[in-house]
Structure 1
Amino acid sequence: MSHRDTRNAAWQAANQWRAKATQTRPDSLAGTVKLFFTWLLFGAMMIVAMVLGLFLLLIGWAMMPFVRHKMKKRMDAMRAQQATDIGSGSAYREPQRPHDALEGSYDVKKDDTPR
Structure 2
Amino acid sequence: MTQRNTRNAAWQAAQQWRARAAQSRPASLGGSIRLFFTWLLFGAMMIVALVLGFFLLLIGWAMMPFMRHKMKKRMDAMRAEQATDIGGGTYRESRRPQDALEGSFDVKDDSVNSR
TM-score computed with the length of structure 1 as normaliser: 0.70
Looking at secondary structure, tell me which structure has more helix per residue.
Answer: 2
How far the C-alpha of 1:23 sits from its partner, in A, is 2.0
In the aligned structure 1, how far is the partner of 2:60 from the partner of 2:69? 15
Please show how residues 96-111 of structure 1 align to structure 2 within 5 Å.
Answer: 96=99, 102-103=103-104
- Equivalences, count: 101
Please give the root-mean-square deviation of Cα atoms over the aligned residues, in Å. 2.8
Local SS of the residue matching 1:26: coil
Residues 8 and 82 from structure 1, CA distance in 2 versus in 1: closer, same or farther, beyond 3 angstroms?
A: same
Please show how residues 62-77 of structure 1 align to structure 2 within 5 Å.
Answer: 62-77=62-77
The runs of at least 4 aligned residues of structure 1 exceeding 3 Å deviation read 88-91
Percent sequence identity over aligned pairs: 72
Matched with 2:32 is 32
In the aligned structure 1, how far is the partner of 2:25 from the partner of 2:77? 68
Matched with 2:98 is 95
TM-score computed with the length of structure 2 as normaliser: 0.70
Q: Which runs of 5+ in 1 are unaligned?
A: 105-115
How far the C-alpha of 1:86 sits from its partner, in A, is 4.0
Deviations 1:74-102 (A, max 9, x none): 111122233334434669x87156x9x83
In the aligned structure 1, how far is the partner of 2:58 from the partner of 2:40? 27
How far the C-alpha of 1:24 sits from its partner, in A, is 2.1
- Is residue 12 from structure 1 mapped to residue 15 from structure 2 by the alignment? no
